[in-house]
Amino acid sequence: MTKQYATLTAEGLRIDDEETLEKFRNKMLSASLVSSMLQCPAQWAAGQLLPKFTEQDLDNAMTRGSLFHRVMEMLFAQDKNNRGKARAMELAGEVLEEKEFSHFRHNEEALEWLDGAIDNYFAMGSKPENVDIANYKGRGGIEIRVIGNIEGCERQFHGFIDRLSYGKNGGLIIDDWKTGATTKRYNPKDRYESGWAEARQQILYAYIINNEVKDESEEVKKARLVFPVTGEVVSIDLGNETYKQRALKDVSDAEKVFNKSCEDNLFEYKKQFLCHWCPLVKACPGGMSPVRRVKKAIDAYNSQPDIEELSKGLKF
Ligand code: SF4
């Protein structure tokens, strides 16, 4: 063991490294923290710890997402008449020269994925040459950080908006690039609530901006999830008061779970189908037993670190 970061107790993950626990205690709320606290606090804590002592595959959903985000960030920093597909492809080449993304340079599969995402982005009717990037607090609205208070919460909430632009009929539009392989469209009738976390994130960003502007004409009027891999766009219903209230309640509920986890130093297990995608699954006393029939779940389970790997930083 390199250093003992945490112990898997019968009820949850206990952090043994005081410095890490202190960092957790000081965290702000964010969309991903909210989702994680409502899903499984132990999985969240494990996700924070494992990169410290296990080898991470540099080619993963998150790093590919960052790659696409970076190309878009550079594309929308160009003059309007220089935002065509050819320019986007050129910029992709420049992004690959950056140190953070250099590991993708000879990864044919990832490069093909990126080309496909850029192709789809243009094929889906996007008109980047018509986009007026908004000014937000004195800077252009690309990859901008929003930070604010959420009703009923002690901690501040923060996050990054991929693109903030001016709407044709006034007001602001949030666009968020979602580079996953499936379109997430929230439907309240869906029992798995697919797409709710993504919708909630945009509702909260709009809430923060709309709370700080003085004039209604400066408010966020629209929010969209743009899925360049599937070629689809999902509009978020920002006017739906039920969704808004639920989003605020989710943040408040998640904060309570997070505060309690930090105070008790116990990040509890919450068994669920998604256990198969959790890096603790092979060691977790509270996790779901592996299913036998769902190939995606079996593959996900098999790709998780084994006990030997986990024991480099965790005690059982
Ligand atoms: S295996 Fe399941 S219950 Fe255990 S930490 Fe992971 S998600 Fe939570």
Backbone angles phi, psi at 276, to 5 degrees: -65, -25
Asked if residue 20 is part of any domain, the answer here is no
Ligand 1 pocket check for 280: Cβ under 6 Å? yes
- Confidence label for 292 from pLDDT (cuts 50, 70 and 90): confident
Tell me, in angstroms, the distance from the centre of ligand 1 to residue 280's CA.
6
Residue position matching structure tokens 């960052």: 66
Average pLDDT over residues 93-114: 97
- Confidence label for 109 from pLDDT (cuts 50, 70 and 90): very high
What is the spatial distance between Cα 244 and Cα 277, in angstroms, rounded to a whole number?
29
According to the model, what pLDDT value does residue 12 have? 97
According to the model, what pLDDT value does residue 272 have? 87
What is the spatial distance between Cα 254 and Cα 259, in angstroms, rounded to a whole number?
9
Tell me, in angstroms, the distance from the centre of ligand 1 to residue 119's CA.
37
Ligand 1, atom nearest to 279 Cα: 6
pLDDT digits (tens, 9 = 90+) for 60-71: 999 999 999 999
Ligand 1 pocket check for 70: Cβ under 6 Å? no
Asked if residue 198 is part of any domain, the answer here is yes
Ligand 1, atom nearest to 284 Cα: 4
Average pLDDT over residues 78-82: 96
Report whether 79 contacts 132 (CB < 8 A).
no
What is the spatial distance between Cα 261 and Cα 34, in angstroms, rounded to a whole number?
13
Fill in the amino acid letter for 26.
Answer: N
Tell me, in angstroms, the distance from the centre of ligand 1 to residue 43's CA.
5
Number of compact structural domains in the chain: 1
Ligand 1 pocket check for 228: Cβ under 6 Å? no
Has residue 113 got a pLDDT over 80? yes
Ligand 1 pocket check for 225: Cβ under 6 Å? no
Report whether 141 contacts 205 (CB < 8 A).
no
Distance of CA 6 to the CA centre of its chain: 24
Of 90, 72, 84, 44, nearest to 178 by C-alpha is: 72
Question: Which residue owns the Cα nearest ligand 1 atom 8?
Answer: 269
In eight-state DSSP terms, residue 100 is: G
pLDDT digits (tens, 9 = 90+) for 153-204: 999 999 999 999 999 988 999 999 999 999 999 999 998 899 999 999 999 9
Asked if residue 236 is part of any domain, the answer here is yes
Report whether 226 contacts 69 (CB < 8 A).
no
pLDDT digits (tens, 9 = 90+) for 118-145: 999 999 988 999 999 999 999 999 999 9
C-alpha separations of 282 from 11, 13, 61 in Å: 16, 14, 21
Has residue 2 got a pLDDT over 80? no
Output the CA torsion sign for 164, 236, 276, 311: positive
- The residue range of the domain holding 153 is 131-252
56 vs 26: which has the higher pLDDT:
26
- Confidence label for 293 from pLDDT (cuts 50, 70 and 90): confident
Asked if residue 219 is part of any domain, the answer here is yes
Question: Which residue owns the Cα nearest ligand 1 atom 4?
Answer: 287
Asked if residue 208 is part of any domain, the answer here is yes
Helix (H) or strand (E) holding 142: strand 142-148
Ligand 1 pocket check for 42: Cβ under 6 Å? yes
As a whole number, the mean pLDDT across the chain is 95
HSE-up of 34 (CA within 13 Å, CB side)? 25
Has residue 217 got a pLDDT over 90? no
Tell me, in angstroms, the distance from the centre of ligand 1 to residue 249's CA.
24
According to the model, what pLDDT value does residue 291 have? 76
pLDDT digits (tens, 9 = 90+) for 223-281: 999 999 999 999 999 999 999 999 999 999 999 999 999 999 999 999 988 899 999 99
According to the model, what pLDDT value does residue 56 have? 85
Asked if residue 138 is part of any domain, the answer here is yes
According to the model, what pLDDT value does residue 27 have? 98
Residue position matching structure tokens 């116990």: 266
Rounded to a whole number of angstroms, the CA Rg of the chain reads 21
In eight-state DSSP terms, residue 29 is: B
Query: Ligand 1 pocket test: which of 13, 44, 288, 310 has the largest number of ligand atoms within 8 Å of its C-beta?
Result: 288
Asked if residue 151 is part of any domain, the answer here is yes
According to the model, what pLDDT value does residue 1 have? 65
Tell me, in angstroms, the distance from the centre of ligand 1 to residue 248's CA.
25
According to the model, what pLDDT value does residue 215 have? 87
Burial label for 14, CB within 10 Å (0-12, 13-18, 19+), is middle
Tell me what percent of the residues of the chain surpass a pLDDT of 90: 89
According to the model, what pLDDT value does residue 33 have? 98
- Confidence label for 294 from pLDDT (cuts 50, 70 and 90): confident
